[in-house]
């Protein structure tokens, strides 16, 4: 089950993953694994409390001019293994860019970046950026390092 994009017509930065994990699908929203550092990292960078529920997560994304989606609309996958992704139907990120002034696509991890580069035809004015994954599987990246890598892109202060 793919999730709909979260955005407003004022969104300038789109954050994409690959495909919702089993934990995220069970929760019904992006980055639902309790050990994923996405929501704590985003809250830290924006100087707000970690959102406690889906409406608060949506509000956080929308209030800060961000958007949230995945690179894949449908695929065959084993568990949460991005390496097992096959039979990809991509989302329409270019279409989303026509609905909002998105100029940057932040890819949450190497797999999201690779899939974005392979399947997405981004408009020429839109830049895709690979950032370290917030997944618990990327344990080599501690929170401080994640925040340092993501921070300039989220806050607009390089």
Residues 78-120 have pLDDT tens digits of: 766 677 777 888 999 999 999 999 999 999 999 999 999 998 9
Tell the CATH superfamily of the 13-155 domain: Uracil-DNA glycosylase-like domain (3.40.470.10)
In this structure, of 19-33, 62-76, 115-129, the range with the lowest mean pLDDT score is 19-33
The pTM score is: 0.93
Domain boundary assignment for the chain:
13-155
Question: Could you identify the residue written with the tokens 């989303």?
Answer: 96
């Amino acid at each position: 089950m793919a999730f709909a994009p979260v955005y407003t017509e004022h969104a300038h930065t789109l954050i994409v993953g690959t495909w919702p994990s089993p934990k995220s699908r069970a929760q019904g929203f992006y980055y639902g694994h309790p050990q994923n550092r996405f929501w704590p990292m985003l809250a830290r960078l924006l100087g707000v409390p970690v959102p406690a529920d889906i409406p608060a997560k949506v509000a956080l994304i929308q209030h800060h001019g961000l958007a949230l989606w995945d690179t894949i609309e449908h695929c065959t996958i084993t568990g949460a293994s991005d390496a097992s992704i096959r039979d990809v139907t991509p989302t329409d990120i270019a279409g989303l860019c026509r609905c909002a002034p998105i100029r940057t696509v932040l890819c949450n991890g190497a797999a999201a970046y690779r899939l974005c580069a392979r399947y997405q035809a981004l408009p020429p004015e839109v830049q895709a950026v690979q950032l370290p994954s917030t997944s618990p599987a990327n344990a080599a990246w501690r929170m401080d390092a994640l925040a340092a890598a993501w921070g300039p892109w989220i806050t607009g202060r390089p």
